[in-house]
Amino acid sequence: MIWQNFIDPALSTRICLTLVHSVWQMAALLFIVWCSGLIWKNRTVETSYTMNVAALLVGLLALPITFLMVDVVDVPEQANVSIKATADSPATPPSMTPDKTAMAPTAKSQATGLPLAHNKPTGSTSTSDAALATHSSNGKLFGWLQYMPWVVAFYLAGVVIMLARLGLAMIKANQLGAQAMVIKEGPLVESLQSLANQWSMKIVPTLAYTEQIMIPTVIGLIRPMILIPASILSGLTTGELDMFLKHELAHVRRYDMWVNLLQRLAETILFFNPVLWYLSRRISTLREFCCDEITCQEDTEPNFEQRVQYATALLRVVELSNPNFVINPDLASLAASGRSPSEVRRRVARLFGEPLREPIRFSRSMALSIAATALLLVCGPTLWSTYAKVNQSPEPIPQKNKIATTDKSTKPFSFGSKVEVLSIGTYNEKPQRWWNSKGTLLPSVPYHIQGAQVAVSENQIGRQLVFRISNLPTGCSVKWKLSNTGSSANGEVVLDGVESPPGYRSQIFNTRKGTKSFDLSVGVASSQWTTVSEANSYASSTATRDNQGIIFSGAFIKKNPNTKKEELVTVVTHSLQKSDVRVIAVDSQGKTHTASKSAQQYAGGTAPVHQTRWYFRNLELKNFDHFEFQKREFEWVELKDLPLYPSETSNTLSEKKTTQENSETSTPVKHVTPEKLPIVVAKHVLLLNGNQIITWNELEQKFAAMPDPSSVRPAFYITRGATEAGLYKTTKAKIWELHRKFKLGGHSEGSLWPRTDFRYDHIKTVDDLRPDPALKFTGTILNSKGEPVEGAEVVLIKPVDKSISYKTYHMALVQGRIRNRLEHIMTLSDSNGQFELYPPKNPWYYIVALHPKAGFSLNRSDWILPDKKLKLLPWSGLKTNIDEVPNETQTVSLRTQIEATEAWPEIILNQYWSDLPKSVQTEGFQYQHIPPINRTTISRSFRGQDGGSFSIPGASVSLLPGEIRELGLGPLSKQQSLQLNRMRESSRKRRELIDKKLKGQKKVKKE
């Protein structure tokens, strides 16, 4: 090897080991700095900067020490090796010239202890058996030594490239200083000289301006120069320019350019070390924070007004910069100031004491793409061969879909079944009316619908539908869908006290006012099953001839959440949208086993897929042979133009009757908005307002004691723990019993976030509602003037429990208040601004305080001062203008994000247009209560058919405290229009899937 002539393998090995050791050494130093930060929570930013620079210096000093300490394992010397040739084994092969240096060790090899290359003895030798044994055992250990020179060569090449990069940056910096226009006199020069004299600086840097930079910068080590962008000389006030001069002069005073050079040299030597890059970036960030603190100080004390002025100046610099200008990263690497508007945003957040967010630049998507590429390279041939085998299988013959489009109320199927619309009725209207498919009013109906609810807004009407499917074949599957309607829910028909009589189906739905009719489509799958794919116990990916992918996870044992027993299970992902599908298992004896399915998921988009777990109760893994994925097609019939209102004749008679009844009543009817009463149905207890344990009997007594129970509309929240404990059905029965007995003004059923369910499900007795006195935290809420704030909502945000997969903490705000207090651990401040909370023993929590008039404050646990005074920052405001979109109703929603840092959770603050009062909505898309500093995303929301909405992000802003900004989103782009259409299509298919799932659950109950 030619490199062995220039780089000794032993030396190469020591260099490589030293570089490898540098990775864990830097990581250990960074970990020590991180731990010290946890212990020393009230440290200043200057202290943090010093600790990180010290870690960098120690890491660099460890390199030569490690090189001296690292040693290469020696092999005992092999002296006096001689080989005797025999008649059967010549000493010299015919095609090879014998090398005498291979017969005895050289001086160099003896000194380094390197293994020797020599011919294999074929006859009697004088080599020591012990020496040969030692060499044989270490041969594998030293086999890689021959590659070390190449590794070092590549490393040196990388160092040369990094040195060239650094040198080029220095040359460009010198050229930039030479081309800049020096400012020799004026108020800026006087301010610079005054600051230098005040700080007793021996060297006063030169002041110059140039058009080639975006933000103020310091260049030069021996003779520093402060460069000012020409764009800000006329765009900023003298006071703001003085603050930037003070910031840049602070860099010179602190000798930051020398530390910066040390960072660049470290990055050159250890360019391969990701920990070093992170540490260097951390030092650069803290350096800016240190100079920001110096800039905002007056008489050694930080000034709030100074911070606001400086933050405004920073953002103003970004606005004045040329948006098409991209700062040179090499030049910025020598600059002592920040590099990008994103860094400016972090600096502004730091000025106001907000949590620092410094995400690592290596994106997760990049790592996942690399892993996926590697996986495809390994598994690609196998997947392709499986795909080829499936394509050789015969194509299944689908059953032809049949759609009838006549306008009668009864529609037959080809196999003898028929669909009959029994009645259509009003929903949540008085009086209750029913009519048939022709619009004729019915005097009464012998059934009612239970177990379903939908929300009906002011611009919508609610309707109920009951239909019957007669003569259904055994083992068939049924699904249906409504057209020209909004959101809907499947209910249970109760006929003469019997729930869900055979063939009866019901639907509750809403639709826009003014809509005259709707369509009902019913599909039944009853044909023979056709196998389209097979898989053994290993995961496999297959596809049908029409490129509909099917992926099996393989066979494994898992507890069935329904039966609570260990069963054979497989997870199947497929993209068949219009067919009825199932998975069967075949055992080693050829017997087939059917499955029950649960945990069905749906992913929309351009290629929507279904993912379902299939459980097999009476099949053991050892007897399993293979799975078969089967499908069959639906036959459809359609009933069109079903009336949403009774006919005019019937309607006139009804109106006359209603008028006559009203004329006999002397007192006009007064409509009162029902009062909401939140009730949490948890796993072990019933909670009134989320904080008072109550029984069903006590709740009934409470309603009985009310003067007018009809003015109350209880809101029931059933937790996941209660549902898993089998309380859902009994709870529904109790709710309807209360509803009928006290003629309540209505009731609602909602769900809470998993983290909230987890908290309520762990409450068993009154003792669980009492906090630990040892954890008591007493603080004070102050406004921006330092005055106590009464009535501020104070929320404790803890990390989500490890058992819950979704870790983000959501909070909905309405005009500076929390929308649903049940979701949070919270309290209110008293007249002195004081509050009490009980945070956990671990340090990973937030305290959020908000008041509609005083402002908002987000306080991370390690940022709270010993006096425990939390100061509110004034709310920001935003007015958004959007262009109209034909045939669309648009609103604007906001989403403020606080990113996760270390063990502190991610927080999302949502504000929805629909939550605002009507009087506020008439003023346009204005939000007056936006949390300042943090990034807020403005989304355009479009109304969906089900009453919901679809949001498309439009822009993101970070507002200063008290700032009010007006922003225009412009017209809807072509890409956004396509995204909106995809979301609507995905929502439609998701509703179909949910309807099918509910129908399957009802079928399982019947069986």
Q: Which residues contact 93 (CB under 8 A, 6 or more apart)?
A: none
- At 633-645, the pLDDT tens digits run 889 999 998 999 9
The lowest-confidence range among 352-356, 424-428, 591-595, 830-834 is 352-356
Q: Region of 648 please: left (phi>0), alpha (psi -120 to 50) or beta.
A: alpha
Partners of 424 in beta bridges = 435, 465
Average pLDDT over residues 372-391: 37
Could you tell me how many residues make up the chain? 1007
DSSP 749-803: EE---HHHHHHHHT--SGGGGSPPGGG-EEEEEE-TTS-B-SS-EEEEE-PPPTT
Instruction: For the domain covering 530-642, report its CATH number.
Output: 2.60.40
Is residue 436 scored above 80 in pLDDT?
A: yes
- At 803-831, the pLDDT tens digits run 888 889 999 999 999 998 889 999 999 98
Average pLDDT over residues 94-101: 36
Maximum pairwise Cα distance, the chain: 134
- At 119-134, the pLDDT tens digits run 333 333 333 333 333 3
Average pLDDT over residues 353-361: 52
- At 44-81, the pLDDT tens digits run 888 888 888 998 899 889 888 888 887 544 433 333 33
Higher pLDDT, 480 or 214: 480
Average pLDDT over residues 397-421: 63
pLDDT reported for residue 788: 94
CB neighbours (10 Å) of residue 683? 18
Distance from C-alpha of 410 to C-alpha of 148, rounded to nearest angstrom = 84
- At 147-172, the pLDDT tens digits run 677 778 888 888 899 889 888 888 88
pLDDT reported for residue 48: 86
Higher pLDDT, 141 or 750: 750
Using pLDDT thresholds of 50, 70 and 90, give the confidence band for residue 118.
very low
Higher pLDDT, 695 or 360: 695
Q: What's the chain's average pLDDT?
A: 75
Using pLDDT thresholds of 50, 70 and 90, give the confidence band for residue 795.
very high
pLDDT reported for residue 813: 94
Partners of 613 in beta bridges = 571, 598
Average pLDDT over residues 258-285: 88
pLDDT reported for residue 463: 92
Q: What percent of the chain has pLDDT over 70?
A: 75
Average pLDDT over residues 736-744: 83
Is residue 563 scored above 50 in pLDDT?
A: yes
CB neighbours (10 Å) of residue 814? 18
Using pLDDT thresholds of 50, 70 and 90, give the confidence band for residue 908.
very high
The two three-digit tokens of residue 920, written as one number: 């506020």
| CB-CB contact of 178 with 38 (8 Å) | no
CB neighbours (10 Å) of residue 333? 19
pTM higher than 0.85: no
pLDDT reported for residue 391: 37
The lowest-confidence range among 1-5, 211-215, 893-897 is 1-5
Average pLDDT over residues 873-893: 86
Q: What percent of the chain has pLDDT over 90?
A: 14
Half-sphere exposure at residue 166, Cβ-oriented, CA atoms within 13 angstroms: 17
Is residue 618 scored above 70 in pLDDT?
A: yes
Instruction: Determine the 3-state secondary structure of 866 from DSSP.
Output: coil
Distance from C-alpha of 521 to C-alpha of 54, rounded to nearest angstrom = 73
Using pLDDT thresholds of 50, 70 and 90, give the confidence band for residue 876.
very high
Q: Region of 78 please: left (phi>0), alpha (psi -120 to 50) or beta.
A: beta
pLDDT reported for residue 5: 41
Average pLDDT over residues 243-262: 86
The two three-digit tokens of residue 82, written as one number: 């001689």
Higher pLDDT, 202 or 856: 856
Specify burial of residue 817 (Cβ count, 10 A radius: 0-12, 13-18, 19+).
Answer: middle
pLDDT reported for residue 376: 36
Average pLDDT over residues 755-768: 91
pLDDT reported for residue 675: 55
Average pLDDT over residues 659-673: 38
pLDDT reported for residue 121: 37
Is residue 655 scored above 90 in pLDDT?
A: no
Is residue 689 scored above 60 in pLDDT?
A: yes
* Most confidently predicted of 53-57, 401-405, 449-453: 53-57
Average pLDDT over residues 231-253: 81
| CB-CB contact of 799 with 755 (8 Å) | no
* Most confidently predicted of 156-170, 172-186, 207-221, 565-579: 156-170
